[in-house]
Structure 1
């Protein structure tokens, strides 16, 4: 690496990486405004569509750590392009789905697997290619802004496409964007050679994936069978405990586990991961609950619902664009705390204002505040985590970081969505939003334990937080 901070053409590299984060985040939220259309067309229920959405997010979370490890063995560029291919096939299959089962296969499974393959390389390549503090911060800011905009604008874009054409066209839109990314991605040059001899912990990957899936499925079962919920969650915790024992045993035997236990020994990174999980839980939970409430209870169509979410998109864009200026004057800890505080105010506004008025624009102030808060803190949280580790650990921490974010997304849809779907009324909406407010407060509390100052880290251009 040179003092320029970048190898190759930075702008040419950054565009496909940022677009990849955009489309994956878009896929996680755009279906929220298609609930009525999909359930009618495929002869299923709101719960059925919720399962498809949550499964997509869960597959991403469960496979993100293995996806990050595979980049070391097969190369970051190859995994990125392979992920795009799998994702594109899934999008096309979803567009032609004759029933819920095929939709789950295309959207939830194939798009989820594709995302798990292509997203870790996005963050690893950004860390490796952008070596100066300023250029790396701008690159991460652009990627996280595109991710946040994708999630926030997903309902609007999805609503416009669904109303103008059909919900199937929204998946064709995803396929076209993936094709564009693949064309632009030809410029990407992997700065490190792949290591085919690098071992891959199959048992660890299976245990971590199964454990996470069981826990989230247990949460989803809460509205139908409390006993089943308890059994699934307990089984999930047991499997995850087995995963921890497995990686410790491999380390003691001198073998390479799926993820090193040292990844969990960094206090600052752990706090950053908690803030990432709660941010995405808050964002995706709010998106699903508000979109479902507007369509099923208030009777709005896809485009009406999507337009209301414009407020969140504008808020997120505004604070994301100002994030670089904020970062020069405020610490990452301050930005994350402020983001959670503003977001919780937004949730409170959604509970008080929206529930007292039939005007759909009563939702705008709350969504605007949530967008402003999330835009201010998404990038600082990622920077805290990624910059806490050396370059040779970027594959592992990138996978863990993205897994935490996507687990938060799936939990947001599962937890808040289950509360709402169990009883589609105004009181259930309020209960779901109060739960999300509690999540925001928990994220704020975790952020207060982050260090107050930033010091220069061991890597060139890193910003490792001082304890």
Structure 2
């Protein structure tokens, strides 16, 4: 006889609900990294350059980051399950468009735009529905652990799976694979239940959505322009910063006027959450940045094919899987702060190994120790960082904080591909060893920022305590989330 879970629902029903949500996070994270092993194949097939593929990868991540917050708000207005399914359909269309793309333009439209928009619609409901469905102290932490682990594994295993498919069939088949997984998720979601009704009367801040998206696009586009025109880069970054400042001031003005803003400014007054968001951003920056830099270096400089590149990344996948599986057990004995802090130390050690062991040696296995440690470090801290942020707010703000959290994480991914990728691409043909070393050094500097943020996290907050804070507000007491 099946046990009873939250809200009187059988535990088997909750597990069935978690499966499509976790798979959705897996495939979206997979999409952000699997193209890294296809750089040479796509470049040759579509008659483009390494930089062209980098732009497609970065734009996909950027569209996700720019639209994730509006996606969270739309899920409140039109329903979390409805937005989840619509996002899946849009994503699937984009995957099929990418599979048949005759040139870089159609690939960017399908992969960067359609898949990016679809992801921005479907990911916020993943985290909101998880929060609403899993209200018990331990089950919510476990559910977030499963989702974040599959997300990390999807990003880490993307190169291997993408490499196998590309070498066995073609890079286009990797997008067909995504479409098939999306179809399976839609089928698995047929019994998924949204605990709260949609609020069609809730206003949607169009102006705030535009300002936040434009600001993020300008900043990341400026970084991409770094190797072409320094003045253009500075101009775009400054313009983006000004637009984001305008966005924040407009939110505060709307709140003072009694109107609903895209995000409540109270989200930015929580010190613990702010520090947690910084760690999330840096974690995904490191994961995406390392994946792109190592993949591009192996293919362009050393001439490895997709499957060879993917196999090398099994070290990172193994490390991430091992530490993710142990994360729940470790969280019962150690504070979230210590897990995040240790994760950054281990990850930085891995980056140091990639610098010390790779440069100057032709041995391909020199990459394995560094990638293994990076996987171990990232897997150790992905779940605690999410739990710190999500559990810092009551359930009525879960829609907003879920959108902000996913936006910050995906912004980190886009910055990883943009910053490290731009440094690498600028010198990969003329001085490849120097470009690789500089790109890794930049990533190490970013990792130090995350380490510093984790040091300032509260010492006394443990996973259980944060989960208790989150579980203290049952869905029935929610207003708008």
Aligned position for 1:212: 216
Aligned position for 1:330: 334
Picking from 97, 101, 104, the partner of 2:101 is 97
Contact 1:132 1:461 in 2 (8 A): no
Distance, in Å, in 2 between the alignment partners of 1:272 and 1:186 is 34
Aligned position for 2:447: 440
Q: Deviations over 1:194-227 (max 9, x none)?
A: 0000000000000000000000000000001001
Distance, in Å, in 2 between the alignment partners of 1:326 and 1:5 is 24
Q: Deviations over 1:224-250 (max 9, x none)?
A: 100110111111111111101111111
Q: CA deviation at 1:159?
A: 0.4
How many residue pairs get aligned? The number is: 461
1:226 aligns with 2:237: no
Aligned position for 2:38: 34
1:174 aligns with 2:185: no
1:138 aligns with 2:136: no
Picking from 330, 339, 344, the partner of 1:340 is 344
Q: CA deviation at 1:458?
A: 4.7
Contact 2:337 2:455 in 1 (8 A): yes
Q: CA deviation at 1:4?
A: 3.3
1:12 aligns with 2:16: yes
Contact 1:210 1:239 in 2 (8 A): yes
Give the match's secondary structure for 2:332. Answer: helix
Picking from 49, 53, 56, the partner of 1:49 is 53
1:460 aligns with 2:432: no
With over 3 angstroms needed to count, the CA separation of the structure-2 counterparts of 1:200 and 1:307, relative to structure 1, is same
Contact 1:86 1:114 in 2 (8 A): yes
Q: CA deviation at 1:370?
A: 0.3
Contact 2:78 2:200 in 1 (8 A): yes
Distance, in Å, in 2 between the alignment partners of 1:3 and 1:255 is 41
Q: CA deviation at 1:354?
A: 1.2
Distance, in Å, in 2 between the alignment partners of 1:164 and 1:220 is 32
1:83 aligns with 2:87: yes
Give the match's secondary structure for 1:356. Answer: coil
1:404 aligns with 2:408: yes
Distance, in Å, in 1 between the alignment partners of 2:315 and 2:392 is 34
Query: Structure 1 regions of 5+ residues with no counterpart?
Result: 463-467
1:113 aligns with 2:117: yes
Distance, in Å, in 1 between the alignment partners of 2:154 and 2:451 is 24
Question: Structure 2 length as normaliser, TM-score?
Answer: 0.94
Contact 1:91 1:107 in 2 (8 A): yes
Distance, in Å, in 2 between the alignment partners of 1:61 and 1:182 is 23
1:68 aligns with 2:75: no
Contact 1:85 1:114 in 2 (8 A): yes
Aligned position for 1:465: none
Aligned position for 1:300: 304
Q: CA deviation at 1:133?
A: 1.5
Distance, in Å, in 1 between the alignment partners of 2:169 and 2:271 is 49
Contact 1:3 1:132 in 2 (8 A): no
Q: Deviations over 1:45-91 (max 9, x none)?
A: 00000000000000000000000011110010000000000000000
Q: CA deviation at 1:461?
A: 5.4
Query: Structure 2 regions of 5+ residues with no counterpart?
Result: 474-481
Q: Deviations over 1:2-37 (max 9, x none)?
A: 993354611100110000000000000000000000
Aligned position for 1:241: 245
Q: Deviations over 1:313-344 (max 9, x none)?
A: 00000000000110000000000000000000
Picking from 378, 381, 384, the partner of 1:380 is 384
1:420 aligns with 2:427: no
Distance, in Å, in 2 between the alignment partners of 1:330 and 1:279 is 20
Distance, in Å, in 2 between the alignment partners of 1:406 and 1:321 is 23
Distance, in Å, in 2 between the alignment partners of 1:42 and 1:221 is 22
Contact 2:46 2:102 in 1 (8 A): yes
Distance, in Å, in 2 between the alignment partners of 1:461 and 1:445 is 30
Distance, in Å, in 1 between the alignment partners of 2:416 and 2:469 is 35
Question: Structure 1 length as normaliser, TM-score?
Answer: 0.97
